[in-house]
Amino acid sequence: MTYLKMAKSPCLKRLRLSRATITELCALTQDDLHPWGNIGHGVPVALRVTAAVNFYAASSFQGSTGDVCSISQAATHYYIKDVKNALQKRTGEFIRFWMDEDNQVGWAMGFIAISIFPCVQSVIDCTHAAIKAPSKLPAPFINRKGFYSLSVKLIYDHKKQILQVCARYPGSNHDAYVFQHSQMPQSFMPRPHIRELIKGDSGYPFHTWVMVLVRNPVRQKRVNAIQGTTRNIIEPIISLLKMRFCCLDLGVHSSTTQ
């Protein structure tokens, strides 16, 4: 059972992606997903991708995900891992903070249409991706909400496209720590006179290229209000991301893979 046997509406409802998008995923990963798998028999690429996407969308136990495709839990485990590795190799093709002038002008114009604040390139925020308790040193992964997670930094543009992700730090780390140890400072610090701005909340440090909300606004209430209008784009994006891929959300971390 693959997505090819699903009608358009059931496919979108169950897998959270359209048939056309999943077909693109199959074409993108087919060179890495060879038909002969680790479990000893031929496996179509469509079946592997269907199993993995279904797990990401539903975040059920691997056995339940396998039932949808009529495959075993062991096979499902291998397919999820294989598809994940194939997609991870290509993240740089789709998730990238372009520093060229044309993209920066486009982002700035897009954000001006949202608010009147000039030179905005993107918005930054952190969220928690729930995980199983690590077998070694689990304590640092317990976040302030009391569950195991990774602290994930996300940067978006005005079109709700992800420009950069940093997802390698335990959930107990503060947003500012994750930001300081991500790739962004390395990209911007060599350019001290840069005018482009990244919007963040008051938990982030000030830089010439980072604009955050004023902690004690007296005369800056209007500035904060304008910044808030720009920043508010990030919250619904995070919600949409977790609605589409439930494996990222709280309440299912006991059955997700690390």
Q: Are 161 and 196 part of one and the same domain?
A: yes
Segment 84-109 shows an average pLDDT of 86
Q: Determine, yes or no, domain membership for 258.
A: no
Instruction: Please classify residue 139 by burial: count the beta carbons closer than 10 Å to its beta carbon, then call 0-12 exposed, 13-18 middle and 19+ buried.
Output: exposed
Q: Are residues 117 and 56 in the same domain?
A: no
Report the predicted TM-score, pTM, of the whole model to 2 decimal places. 0.76
Q: Which of 91, 125, 144 corresponds to the end of one domain?
A: 91
User: Is 189 inside any structural domain?
Assistant: yes
Q: For residue range 32-80, what is the model confidence (pLDDT) as tens digits?
A: 987 655 555 578 899 999 999 999 998 777 777 777 788 888 888 989 9
Q: Answer with the one of 63, 91, 119 that is the final residue of a domain.
A: 91
> What whole-number distance in Å separates Cα of residue 79 and Cα of residue 89?
16
Q: Are residues 175 and 222 in the same domain?
A: yes
Confirm whether 253 is domain-assigned: no
Does 17 map to a domain? yes
Is residue 124 domain-shared with residue 82, that is, in the same domain?
A: no
If asked whether residues 13 and 73 sit together in one domain, one would say: yes
Question: Does 258 score more than 50 pLDDT?
Answer: no
Q: Edge-to-edge, what's the strand order for the sheet holding 210-212?
A: 162-170, 149-156, 120-130, 197-200, 210-212
Same domain, 211 and 168: yes
The confidence band for 255, taking pLDDT boundaries of 50, 70 and 90, is very low
Confidence of residue 219 (pLDDT cuts 50, 70, 90): low
Residues 167 and 216 in one domain: yes
Q: In 3-state terms, what secondary structure has residue 214?
A: coil
Contact 121, 243 (CB under 8 A): no
Question: pLDDT band at residue 257, thresholds of 50, 70 and 90?
Answer: very low
Q: Output DSSP code: residue 3.
A: G
Q: Are residues 145 and 243 in the same domain?
A: yes
Pick from 40-49, 123-132, 139-148, 155-164: least confident: 40-49
Residue 208, pLDDT > 60, answer: yes
Residues in the chain: 258
Specify whether 143 is located in the same domain as 230. Answer: yes
User: Same domain for 39 and 100?
Assistant: no
HEC per residue, 36-78: ECCCCCECCHHHHHHHHHHHHHHCCCHHHHHHHHCCCHHHHHH
Residue 160 has pLDDT above 80, yes or no: yes
- 127 occurs within a structural domain: yes
Is pLDDT at 171 greater than 50 in this prediction?
A: yes
Looking at the structure of the chain, the number of domains it has is 2
Q: Evaluate whether residue 217 is within a structural domain.
A: yes
Q: Which of 48, 14, 2 is nearest to 28 (CA)?
A: 48
- Report whether pLDDT(241) > 80: yes
Give domain status of residue 254, yes or no: no
- Asked if residue 201 and residue 126 are part of one domain, the reply reads yes
What is the extent of the structural domain holding 86?
A: 3-91
Residue 255 lies in a domain: no
Q: Single out the residue in 74, 91, 108 at which a domain terminates.
A: 91
Same domain membership, residue 104 and residue 65: no
